[in-house]
């Protein structure tokens, strides 16, 4: 791994933040360094436990057990415990592209959660059962997650942009008995009929007994009288009180599917107690939470960011937040700034993809709105490149708002690395330092420690919100994350750079999982979709740098005999991917090839294709069996780029 990374000059700590919290936060770092279990015990005691735990942590790294013996409930901690002092506090400000606005208080949210929890019980759902949630960004999506948590059901939220096939795959893998969805989802000015997608998925899922449907639009919606029930009908005749199920700390809270280097997505399992502690403590620390904050994380609930920093993290702390149904470009390019102005948002947590999109629209647009309520900016999903960082800092933060550029993964459950606004200087392009209680180390190809330079990012000690496994696939869990029992650490799959002040810059993925607009997409999954197309014999997908999305997908395609490369065929292949996975995985370019570079054992050499696409010098070709194919692919790539220009 080449060491070519350089970090920029640091931006000093904002004095307003330093005066408020630096002594407290420095104490936490000291405590965590000297006694990690005492630190995590301190964080856990901020939650409400029905039964005290008898140990903070025990077990091996791969199977660490946190807060063993303790019982608690996520929904109770998000709602009930706030009632004595925050019953009338706004929990959710709900807005959408059409100008719709409504508010939901903590007491209203609790009542609806209890009703849906009882409704799910009436459908036969009980502790440990799996419930799939396929929903737009509306309050009912939050209610659905919390209702599952209240009765101990395990939810698996599927991003509502995924195709019927992708949804069915996840329902089948988790053996879900109930699906919660809506008749429509608003996106870029159109109401998408997502109930139709669910109906198509359920043709392959006979194990699903019931579908609960939120009436969210005026779209015509077919209802299977034996299976489907309207959300409002389910809630109409149920009790408004539902006692929270006491959950063992290590009970599963949810399954969330993430792409892997093989075609099948991985069902990541998170446990109730450790996840709650990680979500609450990181939320409080990284975002310097205040009682009067209005918080907005622009992520969808279908991703881990939506779980931890839209639903559970903010509600565990009793915060008020904005959720928005729609695209950040609709109904106009300034909608983000308009909403911040309108709702007086104080913390904005968004993706580098969005920041780059905003910057391309010009510097003047955000200056037409009052953004003085903002006091903290965040970034999530992929590295925030220095150019975008400076634009964000200058034009949105007006050079007074700290930026917390965060690194974490679906598997980690909560933020692992970030600068803290109270004690750390910011470096554009750097995510900062590990949070208290998190220990990381960069290693080289020989697993030797990298004290300064570039290496593979690993986490060397367990943490509460770490994944507990892959659903129904222990062998894959061990093989993917802990392949060597003696190498007792978590290998993130990311490359990183550490500088002379121990600040960390994320370089990128070291496997074949690409980061497209903040979403992890497995190349194998896309390739599998492409080869389902009748004309395709083989396909190889690699990523190339993209100014907006971070990475764009390039598919090299070998056609079957009798088929000719045409624009219509390329469109058909892209549509196949959309149908199989979703629009987020649509290839940006299709390059038709007469052959693909392969090893002598017949494996496609994707790293050489990546070199061609990214304009790098070709890496080792000693195992290449067909040099002519490589040269021809390079020519075809150059020709395609000339045509694009």
What value does the mean pLDDT of the chain take? 91
The answer to whether residue 639 scores a pLDDT higher than 90 is: no
Within a domain: 283: yes
Mean pLDDT of 618-633: 80
Within a domain: 235: yes
355: tokens are: 């920041």
Within a domain: 494: no
The answer to whether residue 36 scores a pLDDT higher than 80 is: yes
Mean pLDDT of 188-214: 96
Within a domain: 66: yes
CATH number at residue 445: 3.40.50.12780
Nearest to 312, CA basis, from 237, 256, 259: 256
CATH number at residue 586: 3.30.300.30
Which residue range is the domain that position 373 belongs to? Answer: 15-485
C-alpha separations of 471 from 146, 252, 269 in Å: 21, 10, 6
Domain boundary among 441, 466, 485: 485
| Residues 387-430: tens digit of each pLDDT | 889 999 999 999 999 999 999 999 999 999 999 987 888 899 89
pLDDT for residue 487: 64
Q: How many distinct structural domains can be found in the chain?
A: 2
Mean pLDDT of 340-357: 94
pLDDT for residue 1: 47
412 with 439: CB under 8 angstroms? no
CA distance 107 to 130: 26
pLDDT for residue 430: 92
Percent of the chain at pLDDT exceeding 90: 69
The full DSSP string for 108-124 is HHHHHHHHHHHHHHHTT
- Statement to judge: residues 68 and 157 lie in one domain: yes
Within a domain: 5: no
| CB-based contacts of 260, cutoff 8 Å, min separation 6 | 266, 480, 513, 522, 524
- Statement to judge: residues 530 and 469 lie in one domain: no
Domain boundary among 466, 485, 504: 485
Instruction: List the single range of 15-19, 250-254, 333-337 with lowest mean pLDDT.
Output: 15-19
Sign of the C-alpha dihedral computed for residues 603, 604, 607 and 611 taken in this order: positive
pLDDT for residue 527: 87
Q: Binning pLDDT at 50, 70 and 90, where does residue 525 land? A: confident
- Statement to judge: residues 277 and 376 lie in one domain: yes
Percent of the chain at pLDDT exceeding 70: 94
pLDDT for residue 392: 97
Q: Which residue has the higher pLDDT, 180 or 547?
A: 180
Mean pLDDT of 627-634: 89
Inter-helix orientation angle 606-614/627-644, to 10°: 30
pLDDT for residue 4: 44
Q: Which residue has the higher pLDDT, 369 or 594?
A: 369
- Statement to judge: residues 467 and 521 lie in one domain: no
| Residues 125-146: tens digit of each pLDDT | 999 999 999 999 999 999 999 9
- Statement to judge: residues 452 and 325 lie in one domain: yes
Within a domain: 9: no
The answer to whether residue 532 scores a pLDDT higher than 90 is: no
Max alpha carbon distance in the chain (Å)? 73
Backbone angles phi, psi at 598, to 5 degrees: -135, 155
137: tokens are: 């960004």
- Statement to judge: residues 413 and 521 lie in one domain: no
| Residues 42-55: tens digit of each pLDDT | 999 999 999 999 99
- Statement to judge: residues 200 and 65 lie in one domain: yes
- Statement to judge: residues 533 and 480 lie in one domain: no
pLDDT for residue 353: 83
- Statement to judge: residues 226 and 302 lie in one domain: yes
Mean pLDDT of 257-270: 79
Mean pLDDT of 506-515: 76
Q: Which residue has the higher pLDDT, 7 or 435?
A: 435
Domain boundary among 485, 505, 534: 485
pTM: 0.88
- Statement to judge: residues 422 and 357 lie in one domain: yes
pLDDT for residue 2: 45
pLDDT for residue 6: 59
CA distance 141 to 159: 11
pLDDT for residue 227: 97
- Statement to judge: residues 338 and 446 lie in one domain: yes
Residue-level length of the chain = 645
The full DSSP string for 302-321 is TSHHHIIIIIIHHHHTT-EE
Within a domain: 490: no
The answer to whether residue 242 scores a pLDDT higher than 90 is: yes
| Residues 72-122: tens digit of each pLDDT | 999 999 999 999 999 999 999 999 999 999 999 999 999 999 999 999 999
Which residues make beta-bridge pairs with 500?
none
- Statement to judge: residues 548 and 479 lie in one domain: no
Within a domain: 4: no
């Amino acid at each position: 791994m080449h060491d070519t990374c350089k970090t920029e000059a640091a931006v000093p700590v904002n004095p307003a933040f330093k005066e408020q919290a630096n002594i407290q936060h420095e104490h936490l770092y000291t405590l965590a360094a000297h006694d990690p279990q005492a630190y995590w015990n301190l964080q856990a005691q901020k939650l409400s436990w029905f039964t005290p735990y008898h140990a903070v942590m025990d077990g091996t790294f791969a199977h660490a057990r946190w807060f063993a013996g303790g019982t608690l409930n996520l929904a109770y901690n998000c709602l009930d415990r706030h009632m004595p002092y925050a019953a009338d506090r706004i929990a959710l400000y709900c807005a959408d592209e059409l100008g719709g606005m409504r508010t939901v208080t903590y007491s209203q949210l609790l009542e609806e959660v209890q009703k849906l929890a009882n409704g799910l019980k009436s459908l036969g759902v009980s502790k440990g059962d799996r419930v799939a949630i396929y929903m737009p960004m509306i309050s009912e999506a939050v209610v659905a997650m919390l209702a599952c948590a209240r009765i101990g059901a395990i939810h698996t939220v599927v991003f509502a942009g995924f195709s019927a096939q992708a949804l069915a795959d996840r329902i089948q893998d988790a053996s879900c008995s109930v699906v919660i969805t809506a008749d429509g989802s608003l996106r870029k000015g159109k109401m998408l009929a997502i109930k139709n997608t669910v109906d198509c998925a359920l043709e392959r899922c006979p194990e699903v007994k019931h579908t609960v449907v939120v009436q969210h639009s005026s779209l015509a919606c077919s209802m299977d009288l034996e299976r489907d029930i309207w959300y409002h009908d389910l809630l109409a005749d149920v009790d408004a009180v539902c006692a929270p199920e006491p959950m063992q700390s290590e009970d599963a809270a949810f399954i969330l599917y993430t792409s892997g280097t093989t075609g099948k997505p991985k069902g990541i399992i998170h446990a109730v107690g450790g996840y709650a502690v990680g979500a609450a403590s990181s939320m409080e620390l990284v975002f310097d939470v205040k009682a009067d904050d209005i918080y907005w994380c622009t992520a969808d609930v279908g991703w881990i960011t939506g779980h931890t920093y839209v639903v559970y993290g903010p509600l565990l702390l009793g915060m008020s937040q904005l959720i928005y149904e729609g695209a950040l470009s609709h109904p106009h390019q300034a909608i983000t700034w308009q909403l911040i102005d309108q709702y007086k948002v104080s913390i904005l947590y968004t993706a580098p993809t969005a920041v780059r999109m905003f910057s391309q629209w010009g510097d003047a647009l955000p200056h037409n709105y009052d953004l003085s309520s903002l006091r903290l900016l965040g970034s999530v999903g992929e590295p925030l490149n220095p150019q975008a960082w400076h634009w964000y800092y200058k034009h949105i933060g007006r050079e007074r708002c700290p930026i917390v550029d965060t690194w974490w993964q679906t598997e980690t459950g909560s933020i692992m690395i970030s600068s803290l606004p109270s004690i750390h200087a910011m470096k554009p392009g750097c995510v900062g330092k590990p949070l208290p209680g998190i220990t990381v180390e960069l290693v080289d190809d020989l697993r030797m420690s990298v004290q300064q330079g570039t290496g593979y990012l690993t986490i060397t000690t367990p943490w509460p919100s770490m994944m507990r496994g892959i659903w129904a696939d222990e062998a894959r869990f061990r093989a993917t994350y802990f392949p060597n029992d003696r190498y007792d650490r978590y290998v993130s799959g990311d490359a990183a750079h550490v500088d002379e002040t121990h600040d960390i810059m994320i370089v990128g993925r070291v496997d074949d999982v690409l980061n497209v607009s903040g979403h992890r997409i497995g190349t194998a999954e896309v390739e599998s979709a492409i080869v389902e197309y009748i004309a395709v014999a083989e396909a190889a997908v690699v990523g190339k740098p993209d100014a907006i999305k971070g990475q764009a997908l390039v598919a090299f395609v070998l056609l079957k005999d009798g088929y000719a490369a045409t624009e219509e065929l390329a469109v058909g292949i892209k549509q196949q991917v959309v149908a199989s996975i979703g629009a987020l995985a649509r290839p940006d370019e299709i390059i038709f090839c007469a052959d693909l570079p392969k090893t002598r054992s017949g494996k496609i050499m994707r790293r050489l294709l990546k070199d061609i696409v990214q304009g790098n010098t070709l890496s080792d070709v000693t195992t290449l069996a067909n040099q002519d194919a490589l040269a021809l692919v390079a020519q075809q790539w150059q020709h395609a780029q000339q045509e694009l220009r």
